[in-house]
Amino acid sequence: MNRSHPLITALAMCTMGFLYLPLLAVAVFSVNATKYGLVWRGFTLNWYVKLFSNELILNAAWNTLVLAVISTIIATILGTILAIGMDRFPWSGGTNTTLDLILHLPVVIPDIILAASLVIAFGLLRLVFSIFEPGLINMIIGHITFQVAFVALVVRSRLVSLGSDVEEAARDLFASTPYLLWRVTLPLLLPGIVAGGMLAFTLSLDDFVISFFTAGPDSVTLPLYIFAAVRRGVTPQIHALSTLVLLITIVMVVGTERLTRRSAKK
């Protein structure tokens, strides 16, 4: 059904332009030969090459990756178990509502509130446990806290759509609990778990606020690095870094889309 009015098409194009023009500008100036100003001086990949010799940036990239990987693994495990716990047991209506509310909290409250409460909580915990100094551990905890909710919601919706039929059929066909889990439940749940995990990973890479509030001097991530850098002034190197981050995002998004679409079809 190709039925868009020309005016709608024009407006839609303008809006897409509005979304992409700034990002395009970043990509364009990331290959501009001049170091200062925004006048086109020819094509270069120099800034990309320099990225890989910049100790600070490499360090930030490493921190970002470590943060995302560790928090995603933990959050995916916790979220999956939580989703099973919520969906596969006959909780009363009241219990369900409470669990649901807690689960939706990280989704709906502004991240700055979660960040502020974590700063205060870590501040108090620090009085007892020394590991709660601002730094990577705190950031990981912060990220897991909002990731768990998203993973659990994704996995739970997959569980709900699976229904009880298939598991009942497996029992009817003499499957013991381990056999059922291994041969039926987990394989069927896997697309949901992977989608939840990828969502968690993307959320971690994308996060700025939680990291900004909980980071220490040695745990600068790429978004934090870019933020600090652009406040001092934009450079082609930052454009190159941002373009790379953008490319990674595109790969992640397309990958997740493919995966969820395929599993939704089944």
Positions 81 through 110 that interact with other proteins (CB under 8 A): 81-82, 84-86, 88-91, 99, 102-110
> Which of 129, 177, 217, 232 is in the footprint of other proteins by CB under 8 A?
177
Site string for other proteins, 232-261 (x = CB under 8 A): --x---xx--x--xx--xx-xxx--x---x
- Contacts with 209 (C-beta within 8 Å, 6 or more apart), sequence order: 111, 112, 115
- For residues 140 and 63, the answer to whether their CB atoms sit within 8 Å is no
Q: Give the total residue count for the chain.
A: 266
Residues from 107 through 136 that contact other proteins (CB under 8 A):
107-114, 116-121, 123-124
For the beta carbon of residue 263, count every other beta carbon within 10 angstroms: 17
Residues from 25 through 44 that contact other proteins (CB under 8 A):
25-26, 29, 37-39
Least separation in angstroms between residue 247's CB and other proteins is 10
Tokens representing 184 are: 């039926």
Burial 9-36 (b: 16+ CB within 10 A, else e): eeeeeeeeeeeeeeeeebbebbbbeeee
- For residues 144 and 214, the answer to whether their CB atoms sit within 8 Å is no
For residue 184, give the DSSP letter.
I
Closest CB to other proteins among residues 69, 253: 253
Closest CB to other proteins among residues 66, 121: 121
> Which of 46, 96, 157, 235 is in the footprint of other proteins by CB under 8 A?
157
Dihedral class, residue 135 (left if φ above 0, else alpha if ψ from -120 to 50, else beta): left
Residues from 184 through 223 that contact other proteins (CB under 8 A):
184, 187-188, 199, 202, 205-206, 208-209, 212-213, 222-223
Site string for other proteins, 47-76 (x = CB under 8 A): ------------------------------
